[in-house]
Amino acid sequence: MQPKLVIFDLDGTLVDGARAAIPAMQHAFEAVGLPKPNDAQVMDMIGLSIIPAIQHILNSFNQIRTVSDSEVEQIGEIYKNYFYQSRIAEKHPMPLYDGALKALAELQTQDEILLGIATGNSRRGVNAFLDKHNLRDAFFTTQCASECPSKPHPEMILQAMRDAGVEAAQTIMIGDTSFDMQMAKAANVYAIGVNWGYHSQDIMLSAGADIIVDNFEQLTAQILEFLDVK
């Protein structure tokens, strides 16, 4: 049986990671004497690896002082430490979206479907997500910022496909941002955008989304239809 691969983004797709990312990034900027980014500025960068994410936020300010590469690295370290300590203390919970577990469980019942993750999170963050939600056995392959270039570079998808022995025609990427859609198109795979995350439907469509879904029921149905799974 020829396997088929379904790859999920994490933050904004399976889990509401902005609840933790926003205070962590705002704290990191203020800690080095920079203006605090607003919620929208932080949500707009979610999906990128940490250094590109910080640069994305800096570029979103109309006026800001020059920030050196070493300061960007410092912001990243402060962000990661705050994020980690908050997770340990459960200060900013990151809940799964309603319907996520049911959809994953349904897809797992399909013998030919393998599940994957492609996220801007670190390996530590991915492992924490899997352990918290008891999903270690759900995903055949997990790709993250610790081992791959940042989205929208296609390497996360390409490596997941290599792991699974699956061709692009039998692969789907699911995400909530333009970065996910651009990554999918760069890897020549089908791109499904979800309408409950951090980038708008129009932005995802402009970035190459093949379809946008409004809930997990629609998402599951679209996956099974595209992969021709009965």
Instruction: Kindly list the catalytic residues.
Output: 9, 11
In one letter, which amino acid is 157? Answer: I
The answer to whether 41 and 57 have CB atoms below 8 angstroms apart is yes
Pseudo-torsion of CA 217, 220, 221, 222, nearest 10°? 120
* Alpha-carbon distances of 94 from 15, 56, 161, rounded to whole Å: 6, 23, 28
Q: Which letter does DSSP use for residue 111 in this model?
A: T
Distance CA 210, CA 88 (A): 38
In one letter, which amino acid is 28? Answer: A
Q: Where do the H-state alpha helices sit in 13-99? A: 18-31, 39-45, 50-60, 69-89
Distance CA 138, CA 116 (A): 8
